[in-house]
Chain A
Amino acid sequence: MLELVNVRKTFNSKTVNEKVALDGVNLRLEDGDFVTVIGGNGAGKSTMLNAIAGVWPIDSGRIAIDGYEITHLPEFRRAALLGRVFQDPMTGTAATMQIEENLALAARRGQKRTLRVGITREERAAYRDRLAALGLGLEDRMTAKVGLLSGGQRQALTLLMATLKKPKLLLLDEHTAALDPRTAAKVLELSEKIVTENRLMTLMVTHNMRDAIRYGNRLVMMNAGKIILDISGEQKKNLTVEMLMDAFAQASGEAFANDRILLS
């Protein structure tokens, strides 16, 4: 269970560039919820995910996972509960380290890192199986540097790293936005497979309305740092892009004039 209570965040406070990024966000996710998050540029989608991940402290409000308050925990401590995949394929992996080394780092998320060997033989065998399941041929390149992989391969690897140690919450931050459409579709399919197989509580930010409708059991729309729409169950299954645009216009009092979303 994830709880966000009245979360606020203002960037560049008290300057001319002041920007209210989160304006009292309230959200509650149950275990197993797969929620897609949609909204225009600057709506606060990524900001909400970064607030949960603890990239910077929030101004006020409360964030808790399974009733355990994480509002004031530093980013690296929250990592024990979270799996994260980022928009930029470069962000989620260490380019100068091997595929298996990256996995070994992820396998120890939330554990104390000791002077034991960084990667054991049993681990290697397990990683080979997990990589083979991705169907990208990475299992034969386990000692290759991650920097040699394509963007799609890196996102698939990051996804595996994020879920290698089952997280309480998976945060997917526009993780297919930087990929070409075919690769993006593949990575999305893979994401859904991993989420359903592990019954992971997931927040997936996307700028693609169709993807937001197709995936997950619940859809949340943000605008100007607020959640303006929350659709789940049967209602979500019957959603269309047109209905979403109408709902947006109604909820925000303005037309959904955002090229990036309209075009996708």
Chain B
Amino acid sequence: MNITSLLNALPGAAAQGLIWGVMAIGVYITYKVLDLADLTVDGSMATGGAVCVMLMMSGCNVWLALLCAVLAGMLAGLVTGIFHTAMGIPPILSGILTQLSLYSLNLAIMGFKANQGINVTKYPLIVSQRNVRELAPDNPIFIALIFLAALIALLYWFFGTELGSSLRATGANEAMSRAQGINTNIAKILGLMISNGIVALSSALLAHYQGFVDVNMGRGAIVIGLAAVIISEVMFGRMFRNFALKLAGVALGAVIYYIVIQIVLWLGLNTNLLKLLSALIVAVFLAVPYWKAKAGQRGGRRHA
């Protein structure tokens, strides 16, 4: 166990964490703002990369490819939203259905191959793992930070508008929102679209970063997103009250998650057990508020 090997791995963990941080912000919007657990993301976390990489390989401009990736993600969110609102399917099941269909669709987008590589020497990739230890403007950490800042600014503005407020209200109290004339179905669909658009953006950036897109790259994405959301709540919940700071905290939560993973790997954990570890950690953290509430009830009786 050599400490330098861990230190060498940290820039990579930070870059990956920031890119996944974009994804976690997408999860935050459904899970926290809209109060819906959306499992579409496990699919759209591969869709964005697939669309972006395949378009670039067929000669498309990198920014246009990125935009198309985001639109593809939004389309996935639209489908989940329609499953839920127009067809009355519970949100979790709606997400699972879209996620499953996306597995086939992602393969189709990638020409029925499980993965597709894109070489940084041949294509103008926005971020690349190759530059992660360079002190230069094309360092992926730096570029991911710019993307995050722009995204947070955009979301901060949007959720302050009339339309954005109606989304927040829908998540906070659906009955009240309808009584105040908000079409809560539209609000949910819009929220799912925005969320999955962001996830697809993250997916495209991740594909650039690692130099390939894989049909399985989104597997367990929802758990990583939730982990980032929960870590940020536990660590910065009291400090970050402002909406923009909360979003930044979620991205930071993803970075912390990846650094912890890196440390655990450095300590010698088998890579194949990572998902098990992540799931258990998230389960425990999700239980904490429930346990706290129960402990509070018991305390109340004792004092009464």
A interface list, Cβ under 8 A from B: 53, 74-77, 79-80, 82, 84, 86, 90-97, 101, 104-106, 108-111, 113-119, 161
Contact of A113 among B172, B175, B178, B182 (CB under 8 A): B182
The answer to whether B277 has its CB under 8 Å from any CB of chain A is no
The answer to whether B183 has its CB under 8 Å from any CB of chain A is yes
Can you name 16 A-B pairs with beta carbons within 8 Å?
Answer: A53-B179, A74-B183, A76-B183, A84-B179, A90-B173, A93-B176, A94-B172, A94-B176, A94-B177, A97-B172, A105-B166, A109-B180, A111-B181, A113-B182, A115-B158, A117-B162
The answer to whether B274 has its CB under 8 Å from any CB of chain A is no
| Cβ contact within 8 Å between B176 and A92 | yes
| Cβ contact within 8 Å between A118 and B160 | yes
A35–B43 alpha-carbon span in the complex (Å): 55
Q: In the assembled complex, which residues on chain A have CB atoms less than 8 Å from the CB atom of B166?
A: 105, 113
Q: How many A-B residue pairs have CB under 8 A?
A: 85
A43–B200 alpha-carbon span in the complex (Å): 53
Q: Mark B135-166, 1 if CB is under 8 A from A, else 0.
A: 00000000000000000000000101111111
* In the complex with contacts A94-B172, A95-B173, A105-B169, A115-B162 CB distance below 8 A: yes
Closest to A80 in B: B181
A111–B169 alpha-carbon span in the complex (Å): 15
Q: Name the distance in Å between B15's Cβ and chain A's nearest Cβ.
A: 33
Nearest 4 CB-CB pairs, A to B? A79-B181, A94-B172, A118-B165, A113-B162
| Cβ contact within 8 Å between A92 and B163 | no
| Cβ contact within 8 Å between A91 and B173 | yes
The answer to whether B208 has its CB under 8 Å from any CB of chain A is no
Of residues B168, B173, B179, which shows the largest number of chain A Cβ atoms within 10 Å of its Cβ?
B179
A109–B180 alpha-carbon span in the complex (Å): 5
Q: Name the distance in Å between B185's Cβ and chain A's nearest Cβ.
A: 9
| Cβ contact within 8 Å between B162 and A95 | no
Q: In the assembled complex, which residues on chain B have CB atoms less than 8 Å from the CB atom of A111?
A: 181
Q: Name the distance in Å between A158's Cβ and chain B's nearest Cβ.
A: 8
| Cβ contact within 8 Å between A105 and B160 | no
| Cβ contact within 8 Å between A108 and B176 | no
Q: In the assembled complex, which residues on chain B have CB atoms less than 8 Å from the CB atom of A119?
A: 165
Of residues B158, B166, B175, B181, which shows the largest number of chain A Cβ atoms within 10 Å of its Cβ?
B181
Q: Name the distance in Å between B245's Cβ and chain A's nearest Cβ.
A: 16
Q: Name the distance in Å between B160's Cβ and chain A's nearest Cβ.
A: 5
| Cβ contact within 8 Å between B164 and A105 | no
Q: In the assembled complex, which residues on chain A have CB atoms less than 8 Å from the CB atom of B160?
A: 117-118
| Cβ contact within 8 Å between B163 and A115 | yes
| Cβ contact within 8 Å between B179 and A92 | yes
Q: In the assembled complex, which residues on chain A have CB atoms less than 8 Å from the CB atom of B182?
A: 76, 79, 105, 113
The answer to whether B184 has its CB under 8 Å from any CB of chain A is yes
